[in-house]
Amino acid sequence: MIGDRHLSIDRRLVEVQDEIRSEFGWSLDKDLYVAKWLVNELVCSAPCRRSLLDLNKTWDNIRRELFSHSGSVAIVGAAVEIDEIEDAMKKGCRFIVADGSGEIFSDLEDPKEGWDSVIGVVSDGDGGTGLSLSIDNNIPMIIHAHGDNQESLRRLIPRVRDLPISITHQTPFSIDGMVNPGGFTDGDRAVCIVVSMGVSVSDIVLLGTRSDVVGKFSGATDPERKLLKLRWMKRILEELGFSGII
């Protein structure tokens, strides 16, 4: 497991993933298949091959960046508003972006100033314009594999050939080259990643994290099904110790 000398994994967060699979009728075998496929694509088959050491280095570099400043870490979720970003920037926050939510930086007077404060983006490959902007701005990416995103990942891999990347999965097994820090949606997984790297919950700011609405930066989705997923997101964040989530 990459970077595990730095990781602190809450096993309860991994166990919740079993409950989520049961809720939605998803297959653990498919989660495992796509995870192993992703490692193989990146290490053996991709145009710009990466070693397991490369994947480890990206994980460690993101962790190093998290601890290189004294301010808080802001997780940018799909329901984020521009005033939240502006306020976080004034307070000196650095950002971890959930999938396509980085599109919000386009609303800044100086989008580059926003992107320069981003440490990494967490994505399962369906982030649309915001994800493209992350790639254009050379943001290190933590890519997630799950049972029904193989085609999204197949399209994404050639686009990130020059980016530092690391990869995560959602199975209870140990997979060389991957980490399962817990989490379900890109937003709460981003939080799980940061916590697993050693950042205290008290040093994490949640932006655009709501369970009652589908954020404007969410990927194409069934709204009713998405709201069910967001309720699981809320449960995971509460399991981590966050409160007051709408």
Tens digit of each residue's pLDDT (9 = 90 or more) over 162-172: 899 999 999 99
| Within-domain flag for 41 | yes
**pLDDT score at 215:** 65
**Residue 2 lies inside a defined structural domain of this protein:** no
Residue 246 lies in a domain: no
- What are the tokens at 226? 């998405």
Strands (E), 60-156: 73-76, 94-98, 118-123, 141-144
Percent of the chain with pLDDT over 90: 75
pLDDT at 7 over 70: no
- Contact between 6 and 198 (Cβ < 8 Å): yes
Pairing of strands 94-98, 118-123: parallel
Q: Is residue 6 part of a domain?
A: no
- What are the beta bridge partners of residue 206? 75
| Helix, strand and coil in the chain, % to nearest 5 | 50, 10, 40
Q: Does any domain span residue 245?
A: no
Name the one residue in this structure whose structure tokens are 């920037």: 89
Taking the C-alpha atoms of residue 72 and residue 26, their distance in angstroms, rounded to an integer, is 35
> Minimal CA–CA distance to 66: which of 163, 167, 190?
190
Would 4 be classed as within a structural domain? no
- Residue 23 near residue 177, CB atoms below 8 Å: no
Q: Tell me, what's the pLDDT at 97?
A: 97
Tell me, yes or no, whether 3 lies in a domain: no
Tell me which residue range forms the domain holding 124.
Answer: 11-240
Note the pLDDT of residue 206: 96
pLDDT at 202 (0 to 100):
93
Mean pLDDT, to the nearest integer, of 41-46? 86
The pLDDT confidence band at residue 4, using thresholds 50, 70 and 90, is very low
**Amino acid at position 4, single letter:** D
- Is the dihedral angle over the CA atoms 17, 43, 62, 123 positive or is it negative? negative
* Residue 17 lies inside a defined structural domain of this protein: yes
Number of domains in the chain: 1
